[in-house]
Amino acid sequence: MKELSGEQVLLRILLGESDRQDGKPTYQAIVEMLRREKISGVTVLRGITGYGAHSHPHTANILRLSQDLPIIIEVVDSQETIERVLPQIEQAVHGGLITMEKVRVIKYIGEK
Amino acid sequence: MKELSGEQVLLRILLGESDRQDGKPTYQAIVEMLRREKISGVTVLRGITGYGAHSHPHTANILRLSQDLPIIIEVVDSQETIERVLPQIEQAVHGGLITMEKVRVIKYIGEK
Amino acid sequence: MKELSGEQVLLRILLGESDRQDGKPTYQAIVEMLRREKISGVTVLRGITGYGAHSHPHTANILRLSQDLPIIIEVVDSQETIERVLPQIEQAVHGGLITMEKVRVIKYIGEK
């Protein structure tokens, strides 16, 4: 079981729900890659509306967005581990936003 | 196309889904204002429950909240740009919470 | 009415939707505890997929996760207040992740 404590990194990836890679949603491909790379945990959130980097170029209308909702993928891990998987994430994201924040891990109870 | 990199600001606005402004949801009015102001991207999340600043004064019961779910509006942009639109956001939010965090933008791929 | 401004703490608790405590969802038990403890506001988000600390040990398959979706509980309050309730939160979370981040409160408009 992996241990996580103290200063770590929260990585957030924002992309569009309809983005595809090899016939599957890009966000799903990223989650599977992170799992293969033994990243300790991943959470995926879906927004209800939005616009911007994650949305398609022809998205002039806010209503149109209901078909391409924003997806946020969140990962908390060490700086070192995050940097190891970052190139694969950058390669997968063709329209979106990738950010890092410092977080303090108070408690981590992994898969038993 | 706008460029974003390095140290930027994550602005988060927490309000209630049922808050209204000029007959439309306040969160939608804020998203439209941010778009008019050329903010590069906005993501809106809806919570499944909660209580607090975003909820109405008569919300004594946690079940009642299903009719006024929490909404989080997220924007990542420069400190300068965020501060430019902040007065309009503050004016629109009549019950809620507005926070800022520092984030490091690793990659931003905007609308082509 | 409580006041919040300047440097505060964003506490995030990640756990599984199917986690139970005394016959109710753990996330609901935590929200009720925070309310009893007069924490000013709480927001609960539900992810659409994920894996890790919040998921059950037998979750080998990503599809299985649809039955145990990730839940994120968010609280913004003072360091002191957060630390007061932290032991009760730690006791309630049996698989998950608890993190803290610094945030700057720009505006807080509480229950009138």
CATH of residue B30 = 3.30.70.120
Q: Find chains touching chain A: ≥3 CB pairs under 8 Å.
A: B, C
Yes or no: say if A78 and A22 are a contact pair by the CB < 8 Å rule.
Answer: no
Does A58 reside within a domain? yes
pLDDT of A58 over the 50 cut: no
Q: Which of B26, B43, B74, B99 to mutate to test the interface with C (most CBs of C within 10 A)?
A: B99
For residue C53, the model assigns a pLDDT of 74
> What DSSP designation does C17 have?
T
Q: Which of A109, B20, A18 is nearest to C13 (CA)?
A: A109
Q: Which domain holds residue C80?
A: 6-105
pLDDT of B5 over the 60 cut: yes
For residue C111, the model assigns a pLDDT of 53
For residue B34, the model assigns a pLDDT of 96
- pLDDT confidence band for B110 (50 / 70 / 90): confident
Does C1 reside within a domain? no
In chain B, residues with a C-beta closer than 8 Å to the C-beta of A52 are: 39-43, 110-111
Is C49's CB within 8 Å of A41's CB? no
ipTM over 0.85: yes
Q: Please tell me the distance from the alpha carbon of residue B98 to that of residue C9, in angstroms, as a whole number.
A: 13
Does C93 reside within a domain? yes
For residue B66, the model assigns a pLDDT of 53
Over range B91-97, report the average pLDDT. 92
- pLDDT confidence band for A109 (50 / 70 / 90): confident
For residue A63, the model assigns a pLDDT of 47
Is B54's CB within 8 Å of C45's CB? no
The residues, ordered by sequence, that sit 6+ positions from B16 with a Cβ below 8 Å of its Cβ are B54, B55, B56, B68, B69, B70, B71, B95, B96
Does B112 reside within a domain? no
For residue B112, the model assigns a pLDDT of 45
- Rounded (5°) CA angle C22-B52-C6: 120
Does C24 reside within a domain? yes
Interface of A with B in 49-88 (CB under 8 A): 49-55, 57, 59, 62, 70, 72, 86
Enter the pTM of the model: 0.91
Any idea which of A53-62, B6-15, B63-72, C91-100 has the lowest mean pLDDT?
Answer: A53-62
- Rounded (5°) CA angle B28-A45-A5: 125
Which residue of chain C comes nearest to B102, CA vs CA? C103
| Strands annotated E in chain C | 6-16, 20-21, 24-25, 42-46, 49-51, 70-77, 96-109
Instruction: Count the Cβ atoms, other than its own, within 10 Å of residue C31.
Output: 22
Does C64 reside within a domain? yes
Number of domains comprising chain C: 1
Does A110 reside within a domain? no
> pLDDT tens digit string along C5-28?
999 999 999 999 999 999 999 999
Q: Which residue has the higher pLDDT, B48 or A52?
A: B48
- Which of A50, A57, A93 is closest, CB to CB, to B44? A50
Per-residue model confidence as pLDDT tens for chain C (112 residues): 467 899 999 999 999 999 999 999 999 999 999 999 999 899 999 999 999 877 754 444 454 445 689 999 999 999 999 999 999 999 999 889 999 999 999 999 875 4
In chain B, residues with a C-beta closer than 8 Å to the C-beta of A101 are: 10, 101-104
For residue A56, the model assigns a pLDDT of 56
pLDDT of A35 over the 50 cut: yes
- How many residue pairs bridge chain A and chain B with CB atoms within 8 Å of each other? 89
Q: Find chains touching chain B: ≥3 CB pairs under 8 Å.
A: A, C
Over range B67-96, report the average pLDDT. 94
Does B1 reside within a domain? no
